[in-house]
Amino acid sequence: MNVTVIGTGYVGLVSGACFSEMGNNVTCVDVDKNKIENLKNGVLPIYEPGLEPMVLKNYKEGFLNFSTDLKKAMLNSNIYIIAVGTPPGENGSADLKYVLSVAKEIGKNVSDYSIIVDKSTVPVGTADKVKETLKKEIEKRDLNVDFDVVSNPEFLKEGAAIDDFMKPDRVIIGAESERAISVMRKLYAPFSRTRDKLIVMGVKDAEMTKYAANSLLATKISFMNEIANLCEKLGVDVQNVRTGIGSDSRIGYSFIYPGCGYGGSCFPKDVKALIKTSIDADFDPKVLQAVEDRNNLQKERLFEKVIEKYGSDLTDYTFGIWGLSFKPGTDDMREASSVVLINKLIAAGANILAYDPVAMDEAKKEFPYDFFDTGKLFLTDHQYDALKDVDAMILVTEWKQFRQPDFTKMKKLMKQHIIFDGRNQYDLENMKNQCFEYSGIGRDL
């Protein structure tokens, strides 16, 4: 099948690569000329395990192509997957300007029956807006072109996106016509060989399913963080509590790891957007608002632990930070707890040494230049370099290489032998063979 994917960000590039891996002819289109040229030269804009070799292989074999020319890409395709960004507005709503801009461009050039697929995470009712935009552009050309707008939300975990796409739990298809459903079944057939994974529903149902899924997972994280904070007050070991409740098959162990809050490109944005949708519908989203409020407070918890130990003036202190991305397996620092922590530490006068296995380049973009220029923030080449003469180490993101560190080496490097994570404060003098299982973030994001 011939497929055009508009947008080469996280969702678009992963989707395009995986569809091409199954033998489809895929063209990924983006308005960013530099990004397209880099992709043609084998330089990917994101880090995702397994993505680079898949992109390079399929581009070399001709199954995957990159272009800035949507009109040209449309000549050989009648499936157009919209995977552009929907950044949050100031009021928390999802900004649909890029989605509707793509719809307008498709409407200007479509000539035969086509399926327009909303894969971007969009609010309920977006498909109607896309449909209306297409219809207006087609009418301006005095043509009668049949088309369907389908909602096909993505459910990709950063760090495991390739597996999630290639071996999905489910494929949600929101469509109004059997013709569109038939085409989508054919497109996803290679991903459903062991069983039929397609769940077909109404378009608005599919749009809501995506938001409901992410918001429920965010709710589990915020709930567990609230329980963890209460356990700390009561002298209760929250890990025993987590084990006890997770053994209940109705609850399970996923997303109940206490930490310092969820981040990334999905959960924060989607919870905010669903809150805004609720308010617009004259509905008071008390649970969703509590989820967001708890998460915002949780991101300050590590800083609170530091000042409880050292006081509010950190001018004479240096801290080493392990982990900058919002979770392991990605370089994404959007809404990362590390950003909140570092900004607060530096505002309190502290100096920071920081290390992350893959997010160092993103960190250079994320923080103000003067942090680096003044020496308040220094990114080290190795995890142990971030511990030289520090007053404490703060574990933020639990990359595997941080789980069983060399405590003897750490003692030699650190000025004070104190470690903070999302749950506890540790003294290295009491640590020998412990394993850092969890860090400051909500696990399984």
Residues annotated as catalytic are: 266
DSSP state for residue 213 in the 8-state scheme: H
CB-based contact 172:206 (threshold 8 Å) = yes
Which amino acid does the sequence have at 23?
A: G
- Interatomic CA distance for residues 261 and 160, integer angstroms: 20
Helix (H) or strand (E) holding 37: helix 33-40
Burial of 314 (0-12, 13-18, 19+ CB in 10 A): buried
Buried b (16+ CB within 10 A) or exposed e, 211-237: bebbbebbbbbbbbbbbbbebbeeeee
Q: How many CB atoms lie within 10 A of CB 55?
A: 24
The alpha-carbon radius of gyration of the chain (Å, integer) is 24
The answer to whether 319 touches 344, Cβ cutoff 8 Å, is: no
Q: Which amino acid is at 73?
A: A
Q: What is d(CA 128, CA 269) in angstroms, rounded to the nearest whole number?
A: 21
Exposed/middle/buried for residue 145 (C-beta within 10 Å: 0-12, 13-18, 19+): middle
Q: Would you state the structure tokens that stand for residue 348, as one six-digit string?
A: 């309190």
* Integer angstrom CA distances of residue 17 from 11, 110, 238, 408: 10, 24, 41, 44
**Residue closest to 325 by CA, chosen among 271, 361, 368:** 361
- Residue among 284, 294, 250, 242 nearest 438 (CA): 242
Other Cβ atoms closer than 10 A to 239: 16
Q: Helix, strand or coil for residue 188?
A: helix
Phi, psi for 114 (deg, rounded to 5): -140, 160
Whether the Cβ atoms of residue 238 and residue 181 lie closer than 8 Å to each other = no
Burial 414-425 (b: 16+ CB within 10 A, else e): bebbbbbbbbee
Separation CA 274–CA 211 (nearest Å): 7
Instruction: Decide: 9 and 47 in contact? Cβ < 8 Å.
Output: no
